[in-house]
């Protein structure tokens, strides 16, 4: 397939120019990478057209998001992003010059900032939907942040604000049904933020260097992802829901409505923020690092001993857990 080789050549020219630790990048049967003795963290994520993104998405936004979801996983492990592999399954006629050029531009806009280099991948044609798989590799400069690393007495913190992407998606779906979403001042750039999330790789690697041991990223919904930590660590948790960080525009829309709060900030997906847990002695240091990095960091609760379950308190009242804690992957 001549087109395949032209596409690979363009990716190589635009994105595959070697870089730190790359002994051999794109162009051979495999990449040769140098970790200088640091543990390697590997993660991979696949996005399917019509399922994880609207099939009419621009190539630049698609590239950004497919890399971002992986950078979020590296951040949740505490790894420093280093290298990426890119697998593309392209419907026939897709891989035209503009599409590839836009893909490269969107990729590089994020990859350049994160310091991650493209070192290989695979390209195939498909009769099915467009499919993008990114594999990201990073190195650890401290302990890995594991789901199993939470201990009773740890604080629970989250970065950024939760629920914005869920509301942005809800509004985008309304638009696509031909409805006119309610005007919400302060949300003008939310569509852009939904399409181009900013994972917290910087704070993740700093948390590892600080010696923290527990994190997860919020991709399926806060309660669902916190649930993964509780299960893996065999602990419970108390969450003070009024401390969940909300964008002022989202807070105004929620307007103290529990159902709206649950639907967006507690169970909505695609936030790509971090949940971090750690002992009280480490809190001031993490707070200082977050301030220096310009990342909002909020304590939202505490890890409890095993058997205590997941307890939600809202203005002093315990609330029932919602029946659905997050986005469920339909198979
Ligand atoms: P092979 O037949 O050995 O799998 P390919 O012809 O598929 O080799 O790929 C040639 C080179 O181009 C390899 O180094 C591979 O990693 C790289 N490559 C192929 N597709 C992509 C892609 N979508 N992104 C980045 N590198 C790619
Ligand atoms: Mg191949």
**Each residue's pLDDT tens digit, 167-194:** 999 999 999 999 998 899 999 899 998 9
Residue to substitute in 2, 3, 8, 16 for testing ligand 1 pocket (most ligand atoms within 8 angstroms of CB)? 8
pTM value is 0.95
Q: What is the pLDDT of residues 275-298, one digit of tens each?
A: 999 999 999 999 999 999 999 999
Q: pLDDT category, 111, cuts 50, 70, 90? A: very high
Report the distance separating Cα 13 and Cα 49, nearest Å.
26
Dihedral-angle region of residue 328 (phi above 0 means left; psi in -120 to 50 means alpha; beta otherwise): beta
- Determine the Cα–Cα distance for residues 289 and 204; give it in Å rounded to an integer: 10
Q: What is the pLDDT of residue 269?
A: 87
CA end-to-end span of the chain, whole Å?
32
Ion ligand 2: residue ranges with CB closer than 5 A: 122
Q: Which residues contact 236 (CB under 8 A, 6 or more apart)?
A: 230, 303, 304, 305, 306, 307, 308, 309, 310, 311
pLDDT tens, position by position, 39-76: 999 999 999 999 999 999 999 999 999 999 999 999 99
Q: How far apart are CA 106 and CA 109, in angstroms?
A: 5
Ligand nearest to the CA of 26: 1
Instruction: Tell me how far the alpha carbon of residue 146 is from its chain's centroid.
Output: 16
Backbone angles phi, psi at 313, to 5 degrees: -115, 140
The protein residue whose alpha carbon is closest to atom 10 in ligand 1 is 27
In degrees and rounded to multiples of 5, residue 30 shows phi and psi of -160, 165
Of all ligands present, the nearest one to the C-alpha of 32 is 1
Question: Nearest C-alpha to atom 5 of ligand 1 is from which residue?
Answer: 122
> Looking at the chain, how many residues does it have?
331
């Amino acid at each position: 397939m001549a087109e395949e080789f032209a596409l690979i050549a363009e990716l190589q020219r635009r994105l595959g120019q070697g870089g730190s630790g790359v002994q051999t990048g794109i162009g051979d049967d495999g990449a040769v990478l140098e970790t200088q003795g640091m543990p390697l963290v590997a993660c991979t994520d696949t996005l399917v057209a019509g399922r994880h993104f609207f099939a009419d998405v621009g190539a630049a936004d698609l590239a950004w998001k497919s890399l971002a979801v992986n950078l979020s996983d590296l951040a949740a492990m505490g790894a420093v992003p280093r290298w990426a592999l890119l697998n593309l399954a392209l419907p026939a006629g897709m891989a035209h010059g503009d599409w590839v050029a836009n893909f490269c531009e969107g990729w590089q806009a994020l990859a350049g900032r994160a310091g991650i280099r493209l070192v290989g991948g695979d390209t195939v044609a498909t009769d099915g939907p467009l499919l993008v798989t990114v594999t990201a590799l990073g190195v650890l400069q401290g302990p890995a942040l594991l789901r199993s690393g939470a201990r009773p007495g740890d604080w629970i913190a989250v970065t950024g604000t939760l629920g914005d992407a869920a509301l942005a998606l809800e509004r985008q779906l309304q638009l696509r049904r031909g409805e006119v979403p309610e005007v919400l001042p302060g949300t003008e750039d939310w569509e852009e933020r939904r399409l181009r999330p900013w994972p917290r790789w910087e704070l993740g690697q700093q948390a590892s260097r600080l010696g923290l041991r527990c994190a997860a990223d919020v991709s399926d919904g806060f309660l669902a992802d916190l649930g993964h930590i509780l299960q893996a660590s065999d602990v419970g948790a108390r969450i003070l829901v009024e401390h969940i960080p909300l964008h002022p525009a989202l807070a105004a829309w929620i307007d103290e409505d529990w159902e709206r709060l649950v639907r967006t900030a507690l169970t909505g997906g695609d936030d790509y923020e971090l949940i971090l847990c750690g002992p009280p002695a480490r809190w001031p240091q993490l707070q200082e690092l977050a301030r220096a990095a310009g990342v909002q960091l909020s304590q939202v609760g505490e890890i409890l001993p095993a058997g205590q379950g997941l307890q939600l308190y809202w203005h002093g009242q315990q609330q029932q857990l919602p029946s659905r804690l997050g986005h469920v992957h339909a198979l």
